[in-house]
Structure 1
Amino acid sequence: MTNFISKEVDKLIKKYKTRDPFEMAKDMKINICYHDLGNLKGYYFYQSKFRYIVINNNIQEELLPVICAHELGHDRFHQNYAKNDAIREFSLFDMTSKPEREANFFASELLIPDSTIMELFYGDYTFSSVAAELNVPIELVDFKSQILKAKGYNISPLCISKGNFLKK
């Protein structure tokens, strides 16, 4: 699964020449909207050939690219679930749901280049210091480390990823 996701992310980065999920969404003609969603961080839906990423306008700024990248993952892999009914992120980054797990891996692969994270790990950074350096949740670093392990890197993932870490 992670190999397929990595290949898809690589294709998108080459095609759109960016890792920025907002630029990529714009180039892919996906509409990004911001609304007050209460406790909901964001969602993706597809209706009448139009694709939308809706992001809560009350979330922390550093989470915006994480949410957008996660929803792009849904666009790439789960459009059939989202046709005329939104994929709502009531438990964003839920590792028990296959679609959520795939979107999490997609987001980590898009936002964190292999070379960047491995350089930090070789510099004796911890998972938490890597997350702080990259300004991403530690769980995203954990997802990325699981991908790196599958690619053959000598790394031990934390496997701490929980479904409710963004609810804090």
Structure 2
Amino acid sequence: MNGFIINEINKLKKKYGTNNPFDIAKGEEIIVIYESLGSIRGYYNKYARQKFIHINEDLDEIQRLVTCGHELGHAQLHPNANTPFFKSNTFYSVNKLERQANKFDAHLLIDIESIDNYLLENCSYEQLASILNLPVELVKIRFNVF
């Protein structure tokens, strides 16, 4: 699955010339909605063949970027899956889908080729996360630590 995820990301980056999930979502005609979601960071759904990414309006800019990337992962990898429905109404485990969306997010937002080799060889995950201004968990997922 990792190879499939990386291929999908490479296609999107080539098609849109960016790794910004908001720009890619716009190009893919996915509607991004900001709304009050309480403790939920975001979710993806599809209604009448239209894809939507919902993002908690209370998140800061970095959290919105990471959340959009994760939900874009769902839109690209699991376009017809409704994880909120699965969680609430079935015994279906969504862990696999969430892990895949996390990997998509990490590989989309962290382009190793654009990071100086010195940083890759000499920084801890925490330091690299700080330099990239991304959550350390995302950096660890990118480097297969999780």
**Fold agreement, TM-score > 0.5:** yes
2:43 corresponds to which residue?
A: 43
Query: Cα RMSD over matched residues?
Result: 2.1
**CA shift at 1:20, angstroms?**
0.5
Question: Residues 107-132 of structure 1: CA distance to partner in whole angstroms, max 9, x if unpaired?
Answer: 0011010223462212x111000000
- CA, structure 1 residues 88+108, in 2 after alignment: closer, same or farther (shift >3 Å)? farther
2:111 & 2:55 partners in 1: Cα distance?
24
Gap regions ≥5 residues in structure 1: 91-95, 147-156, 160-168
**CA shift at 1:142, angstroms?**
0.7
2:128 & 2:33 partners in 1: Cα distance?
30
1:103 equivalent in alignment to 2:101: yes
Which residue among 142, 145, 149 is the counterpart of 2:143?
Answer: 145
User: Runs of at least 4 residues of structure 1 off by over 3 A?
Assistant: 85-90
Q: Which amino acid aligns with 2:76?
A: R
- CA, structure 1 residues 97+71, in 2 after alignment: closer, same or farther (shift >3 Å)? same
TM-score normalised by the chain length of structure 1: 0.77
Gap regions ≥5 residues in structure 2: 89-93
- CA, structure 1 residues 110+89, in 2 after alignment: closer, same or farther (shift >3 Å)? farther
2:87 & 2:21 partners in 1: Cα distance?
17
Identical-residue share of aligned pairs (%): 37
SS at match of 2:81: helix
SS at match of 1:69: helix
**CA shift at 1:78, angstroms?**
1.1
2:91 corresponds to which residue?
A: none
TM-score normalised by the chain length of structure 2: 0.88
Matches within 5 A, 1:53-64: 53-64=53-64
- CA, structure 1 residues 88+2, in 2 after alignment: closer, same or farther (shift >3 Å)? same
Structure 1 or 2: larger helix share? 2
1:130 corresponds to which residue?
A: 128
Q: Which amino acid aligns with 1:129?
A: Q
